[in-house]
């Protein structure tokens, strides 16, 4: 969607140079500042029609004081009540992850971007991190040269794919032999974690999930265990398809949030059957649009999803800055 058609452009004064900017940093965000950030992110999301932060970043923000968390709030010195940008740093080891959002009226400002990234780098160095990974949504990809000029290197890209529902009835034949059951909170976390770790061994995000990560999402208003579909063989998980409904989107859209298949069941059609099971669950809830995210280099998954009818609709990229302590 063209952001110019999503919402009126919020007012913001121009940033003429970095000396007009101020940054406030928090490890534990006071409630008044939390409301300030939430309001800013809502403004950005309404304008873009997509969430400015990932689910992991939102979960970190709502957990108040997760380990390794820093929030950076940016505003003009002359206008402290209105945020110009927000950035968030999270780390659980030597590498940190940075996500950010710029005021829609200021996205052409290299001064603002440089100020935000320099502040994030300083914060990472203060935590003795060795590197940071910067996630950049498609809304900011025109700033690629500015990002790489600061030493960041493109590491990976993720495609967002979309699909209209309902599926062609012929696809339903693919799930005739697959039985699923809903996830049971308080019971299935450990077994799902084991499955997901096997399915995503070596993956920079999915392969490192913890019980705390699952519990944080179970507290989210969108979480529905009936849409967390588990497939078993003799009581042992062989795959799972976790669905999420985005009620804030127009039209309401269902997401294949995480799909995991035990490697020992690869090439048995389980992934495709789970995908179709998840999409069928959305259809029962009268959802007309589906989406998912997949790594650009995951050719097998891209081929599978495109065979069902998914099309590319957006992308986001990860840039890495290494050797921070040198």
In a domain, 222, yes or no: yes
Residues 121 and 172 in one domain: no
In a domain, 322, yes or no: no
Residues 138 and 172 in one domain: no
Residues 165 and 145 in one domain: no
Residues 169 and 308 in one domain: yes
In a domain, 323, yes or no: no
CB contact at 8 A, 305 and 275: yes
Task: Return the pLDDT at 68.
Answer: 84
The three-point CA angle 275-59-98 to 5° equals 100
CB contact at 8 A, 290 and 122: no
Residues 127 and 165 in one domain: no
The token pair at 250 is: 């127009």
Q: Which residue has the tokens 């790489």?
A: 148
In a domain, 156, yes or no: no
The three-point CA angle 64-138-156 to 5° equals 80
Final residue belonging to a domain, choices 150, 172, 204: 150
In a domain, 324, yes or no: no
Q: Which residues, 6 or more positions from 165, have their beta carbon under 8 angstroms from its beta carbon?
A: 254, 279, 282, 283, 287, 288, 289, 290
Domain with 58 in it: 3-150
Residues 201 and 299 in one domain: yes
Q: Which residues, 6 or more positions from 173, have their beta carbon under 8 angstroms from its beta carbon?
A: none
Q: Which residues of 284-323 are buried (b: 16+ CB within 10 A; e: fewer)?
A: eeebebbbbbbbeeeeebbebbeebbbeeebbbbbbebee
Distance CA 15, CA 161 (A): 35
Q: Which residue has the higher pLDDT, 209 or 214?
A: 214
Residues 255 and 284 in one domain: yes
Distance CA 242, CA 107 (A): 34
Residues 105 and 234 in one domain: no
**CATH number reported for the structural domain that contains residue 31 in this entry:** 3.40.630.30
In a domain, 91, yes or no: yes
Distance CA 286, CA 256 (A): 16
Task: Return the pLDDT at 202.
Answer: 64
CB contact at 8 A, 324 and 129: yes
Final residue belonging to a domain, choices 127, 150, 173: 150
Task: Return the pLDDT at 314.
Answer: 81
Quick: pLDDT tens for 83-125: 999 999 998 788 999 999 999 999 888 889 999 999 999 999 9
Tell me the average pLDDT of the chain: 87
In this structure, the number of other CB atoms found within 10 A of the CB of residue 192 comes to 21
Residues 299 and 167 in one domain: yes
CB contact at 8 A, 308 and 216: no
In a domain, 325, yes or no: no
Final residue belonging to a domain, choices 115, 150, 185: 150
Residues 143 and 176 in one domain: no
- pTM for this one? 0.74
Residues 176 and 300 in one domain: yes
Q: Which of 58-62, 118-122, 173-177, 185-189 has the lowest mean pLDDT?
A: 173-177
Distance CA 39, CA 221 (A): 18
Distance CA 83, CA 76 (A): 8
Residues 131 and 188 in one domain: no
In a domain, 264, yes or no: yes
- Domain count across the chain: 2
| Residue 182, strand partner residues | 229
Residue 265 has pLDDT above 50, yes or no: yes
Task: Return the pLDDT at 204.
Answer: 63
The token pair at 137 is: 């949504």
Task: Give percent of the chain with pLDDT exceeding 90.
Answer: 58
Residue 6 has pLDDT above 90, yes or no: no
Distance CA 9, CA 108 (A): 14
Beta strands of 92-176 (E only): which ranges?
Answer: 95-102, 131-137, 153-164
């Amino acid at each position: 969607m063209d952001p110019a058609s999503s919402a009126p452009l919020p007012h913001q004064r121009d940033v003429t140079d970095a000396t007009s900017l101020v940054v406030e940093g928090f490890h534990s965000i006071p409630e008044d500042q939390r409301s300030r950030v939430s309001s800013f992110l809502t403004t950005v999301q309404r304008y873009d029609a997509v969430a400015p932060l990932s689910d992991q970043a939102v979960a970190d923000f709502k957990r108040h004081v997760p380990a390794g968390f820093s929030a950076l709030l940016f505003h003009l010195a002359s206008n402290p009540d209105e945020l110009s940008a927000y950035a968030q740093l999270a780390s659980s080891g030597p590498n940190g992850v940075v996500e950010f959002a710029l005021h829609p009226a200021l996205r052409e400002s290299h001064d603002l971007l440089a100020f935000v990234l320099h502040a994030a780098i300083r914060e990472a160095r203060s935590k003795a991190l060795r590197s940071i990974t910067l996630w950049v949504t498609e809304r900011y990809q025109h700033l690629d040269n500015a990002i790489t000029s600061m030493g960041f290197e493109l590491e990976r890209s993720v495609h967002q794919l979309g699909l209209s529902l309902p599926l062609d009835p012929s696809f339903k034949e693919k799930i005739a032999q697959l039985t699923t059951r809903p996830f049971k909170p308080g019971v299935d976390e450990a077994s799902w974690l084991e499955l997901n770790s096997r399915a995503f061994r070596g993956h920079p995000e999915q392969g490192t999930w913890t019980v705390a990560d699952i519990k944080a999402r179970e507290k989210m208003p969108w979480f529905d265990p009936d849409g967390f579909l588990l497939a078993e063989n003799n009581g042992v998980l062989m795959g799972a398809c976790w669905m999420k409904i985005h009620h804030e989107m127009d039209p309401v859209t269902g997401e294949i949030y995480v799909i995991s298949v035990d490697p020992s069941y690869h090439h048995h059609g389980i992934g495709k059957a789970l995908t179709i099971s998840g999409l069928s669950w959305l259809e029962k809830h009268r959802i007309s649009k589906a989406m998912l995210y997949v790594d650009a280099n995951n050719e097998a998954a891209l081929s599978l999803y495109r065979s069902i009818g998914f099309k590319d609709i957006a992308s986001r990229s990860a840039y890495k800055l290494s050797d921070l302590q040198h």
